[in-house]
Amino acid sequence: MTELSTETKTVALDQGVDLNQPVLDINGNPIERMKEEIDAGAHPVMRIGDICVNALMATPEDDKADGIQKLKRFNLARKIKGSSEDEDYPTLRLNSKNKKMIEELVEKVYPTLTYARLYEALEGNTEEEEGAD
């Protein structure tokens, strides 16, 4: 008689994106803000939420977004920002359309390291898909 496997699978539930996590440099250290920014009231460390909001509110040079698309960006930035009284970002579940919108804008307005760290935060890794060129 063959034994039946009693192996179980664990499925990770999407707990959302922690937008307060720091943006890390290439060595894994948090990127600190300049003294002037901190003195002006900014959080001492650049966070994933900062990158998202800044990219959504930016206007890339080749931007062809219409008013509807700009309103979508604004509303998503406002959702990410959360309460104006709280300096912490909420943990959000972002759908694939919102993730794609943020990733495309970050790709246009930020350098490679920032894009990679944002992608890692939203998608869980920075590995290319197998077979991708």
Distance of CA 44 to the CA centre of its chain: 18
Res. 3: pLDDT tops 70: no
pLDDT tens digit string along 87-101? 788 888 999 999 999
Cα 21 from Cα 130, distance rounded (Å): 28
DSSP code of 30? Answer: B
Residues whose CB falls within 8 Å of the CB of residue 82, separated by 6 or more in sequence, listed in order = 88, 89, 90
Q: Which pTM value belongs to this model?
A: 0.79
Q: Where are the domains of the chain?
A: 17-123
pLDDT tens digit string along 62-74? 899 999 999 999 9
